[in-house]
Amino acid sequence: MSKALAFINDKRVRDVFYQAALLIGLAALLVYFIRNASQNMVQAGIASGFDFLWRTSGIEVPFVLTNYTQSDNILSLFWAGVANTLLVTAIALVLATALGFLIGIARLSSIWLVQAIAGAYVEFVRNIPLLFFVLFWYFGVIAALPAPRASLSVFGVAFLNNRGLTIPLPDAGANFKYAFIAIAISCLLHWLFLRWAKRRKEQTGQDAPVLRVGLVLLLLVPVLALAWATLATRWDIPVLRGFNYRGGFVVIPEFVALLAALVTYTAGFIAEIVRGGIQSVPHGQIEASSALGLRPGQTLRLVTIPQALRVMTPPMTNQYLNVLKNSSFGAAIAYPDVVSLFMGSALNNTGQAIEIIAMTLAVYLVIGLAVSAFMNWYNARIALVTR
């Protein structure tokens, strides 16, 4: 080979060449797709751009948290959908975590039957599609509930029937606002107290009554504040009039079914994470801690849980993001989340596929990136410091 061509055997030249070729190939493909799309859109008479967002939507939504009404524009419809997605995600997260921890700890129980039942639940739930649960809860369970006249009553204030769950609504929210302010202040006080206690412990070695103060500030104060707010507020309690309940707030059956499905399904996965986390703490750690004279409670709080949490955090984050993404399964039963409202109804009305798909996916990507960024920061903070 002549010297002039020797450079093609240089690894650096080849690397640049391959990457440039890939980039150009992808760009060409993209241009080809965009050209086809714009031609097809011109043929179908679809305008592009985001002007459609300010058109009147005219879509009726059965369940809104924002002030959206039919005469608002499509952008408000989008936000109404986002709010519904976030609502079902947030509630499902809390309930699934609670149920998942319960089942995960039950799998480690020293009582055989408890262990077996928890294990059976996990094996059952993890091997069935989530969509099955969504449809089952909606068409199998909620549809089979009695009509409003024969509702299942929950302490005489909330009523469950085949039209959803009717819950009481406070007439005014002022008392709850004060209660939440009180809770926030008490959390802040607790944080300050912990800092003070830690500093004193480092300086003088004296213990502060952390547990007792924590119980008062984090449990007693919130419970009292909420109890006061509940009693001091006048409630609009639903009453049966004719064929349906009047008053209160109706949680639509789609919400109840989607929530039940998300919670029962996700709990099975969280249970496995919890079990794995606790089992990952070596037994020697617990023995060492009792050899140092720590009581079982202290061992759990200071040795087992911090180490288990470190193992559990990354998969838990994944599960939480899965719940957010899985809340879109509501589209199958027409729960008005962002996918079914915006990617479904709004897209049908306007035909602006590309813009609407981009906006919908952006919701999930933005939330996902934000959560990942936060968790990376948190993971770095709690990571084991090794020398």
Partner 1 sequence: MSAANTLPTSWRERLFGTPTVTVVTLLLAALLAWIAVPIIRWALIDATWSGQTRNDCTGSGACWVFIKARFGQFMYGFYPVDERWRPNLAGILFALSGAAIILAPKRLKLSLGLAALVILPPLGIWLLAGGFGLRAIETREWGGLMLTVFLSIYASLIAIPLGILLALGRQSELKVIKLISVLFIEFWRGVPIIAVIFLASLLLPLIMPSGIGVDRLARAVIGLGFCIAAYMAEAVRGGLQALPKGQREAGTALGLSYWKATWFIILPQALRISLPAITNEFIALVKNTTLVLVVSILDLLGIAQASLADPNWVGMNMEAYVFSGALYWLICFALSRWSKSLETKRGR
Letters for 87-126 (x = contact with partner 1 by CB under 8 A, - = none) are: ---------------------xxxxxxxx-x-----xx-x
Is position 1 an interface residue for partner 1 (rule: CB under 8 A)?
no
Residues 329 and 254: beta-carbon distance below 8 Å: no
Closer residue to partner 1, CB minimum distance, 124 or 378: 124
Please report, as residue ranges, which positions from 124 to 183 form the binding site for partner 1 (by CB under 8 A): 124, 126-132, 135-136, 139-140, 143-144
Q: Which of 10, 19, 47, 195 binds partner 1 (CB under 8 A)?
A: 19
- Write the CB contacts of 313 (distance below 8 Å, at least 6 apart in sequence): 375, 378, 379, 382
Total number of residues binding partner 1 (CB under 8 A)? 68
Closer residue to partner 1, CB minimum distance, 86 or 226: 86
Which tokens is 186 given?
């008490």
Letters for 327-366 (x = contact with partner 1 by CB under 8 A, - = none) are: xxx-xx------x---xx--x-----xx--x--xx--xx-
Closer residue to partner 1, CB minimum distance, 23 or 309: 23
Q: Quick count: other Cβ atoms within 10 Å of Cβ 384? A: 6
Closer residue to partner 1, CB minimum distance, 278 or 312: 278
Alpha-carbon distance 249 to 166, whole Å?
Answer: 6
Closer residue to partner 1, CB minimum distance, 101 or 193: 101
Is position 36 an interface residue for partner 1 (rule: CB under 8 A)?
yes
CB of 32 to partner 1, least distance (A): 8
Q: 160 has which bridge partners?
A: 152, 165
Residues 303 and 50: beta-carbon distance below 8 Å: no
Alpha-carbon distance 265 to 121, whole Å?
Answer: 10
CB of 116 to partner 1, least distance (A): 9
Residues 261 and 130: beta-carbon distance below 8 Å: yes
Q: Is 231 left (phi over 0), alpha (psi -120 to 50) or beta?
A: alpha
Residue 178 to residues 172, 188, 218, 372, Cα–Cα distance (Å): 12, 15, 16, 33
CB of 344 to partner 1, least distance (A): 8
Residue with tokens 């759990």: 300
Q: Which one of the spans 28-36, 66-74, 207-215, 218-226 is the region binding partner 1 (CB under 8 A)?
A: 28-36
Q: Which of 123, 132, 161 is nearest to 145 (CA)?
A: 161
Residues 270 and 104: beta-carbon distance below 8 Å: yes
Closer residue to partner 1, CB minimum distance, 111 or 384: 111
Give me the helix-helix angle, 112-126 and 253-279, nearest 10°. 120
- Write the CB contacts of 336 (distance below 8 Å, at least 6 apart in sequence): 61, 62, 63, 64, 80, 81, 84, 254, 330
CB of 62 to partner 1, least distance (A): 19
Please report, as residue ranges, which positions from 298 to 327 form the binding site for partner 1 (by CB under 8 A): 300, 304, 321, 325-327
Letters for 223-252 (x = contact with partner 1 by CB under 8 A, - = none) are: ------------------------------
Closer residue to partner 1, CB minimum distance, 238 or 344: 344
Q: Which one of the spans 16-24, 218-226, 229-237, 242-250 is the region binding partner 1 (CB under 8 A)?
A: 16-24
| β-pair type (239-241, 235-236) | unpaired
CB of 120 to partner 1, least distance (A): 10
Residues 249 and 171: beta-carbon distance below 8 Å: no
> Residues in the site for partner 1, rule: CB under 8 A?
15, 18-19, 22-23, 26, 33-34, 36-37, 39-41, 43, 108-115, 117, 123-124, 126-132, 135-136, 139-140, 143-144, 278-283, 286, 300, 304, 321, 325-329, 331-332, 339, 343-344, 347, 353-354, 357, 360-361, 364-365, 368-369
